[in-house]
Amino acid sequence: MARKIEDIKKKQTFKLFSVVVGVSLLVTKPSYAYIDVGTGSLVLQVLAAIGVGAMFYVRSIGRAIKKMIKKDSPNDINSDSIGE
């Protein structure tokens, strides 16, 4: 019974949301806006930051995968040991 009431509330909420969005799309006025140089510069800066961040993220994931796959051999010269 409670599940049925929740489903009805969800449907009513979705219908109300759909009506509000539909009405707001129908009654819009054209906006005479422009993107100035500062805004364009900000957008480019954000895109560059996302790109650089993604590169570092992918590189760190690659290193983690290599670390899991790579198994150090006991004869490895570059391996660290406690006594040395």
Residue 16 pLDDT > 90: yes
For 58, the domain range is 36-70
Does residue 8 lie within any of the structural domains?
A: no
Each residue of 20-61: pLDDT tens digit?
999 988 888 877 877 788 888 999 999 999 999 999 999 999
Sequence length of the chain is 84
More confident residue, 80 or 18: 18
Residue 47 resides in a domain: yes
Taking 70 as the threshold, does the pLDDT of residue 84 lie above it? no
Higher local confidence (pLDDT), 31 or 12? 12
Q: Is residue 6 domain-resident?
A: no
What's the domain count of the chain? 1
SS3 84: coil
Q: 0.85 exceeded by the pTM?
A: no
Q: Which of 53, 56, 74 is nearest to 64 (CA)?
A: 56
Is the pLDDT assigned to residue 83 strictly greater than 60? no
In 1-84, where does DSSP find H-type helix? 2-26, 37-69
Residue 66 CA to residue 22 CA, distance in Å, equals 51
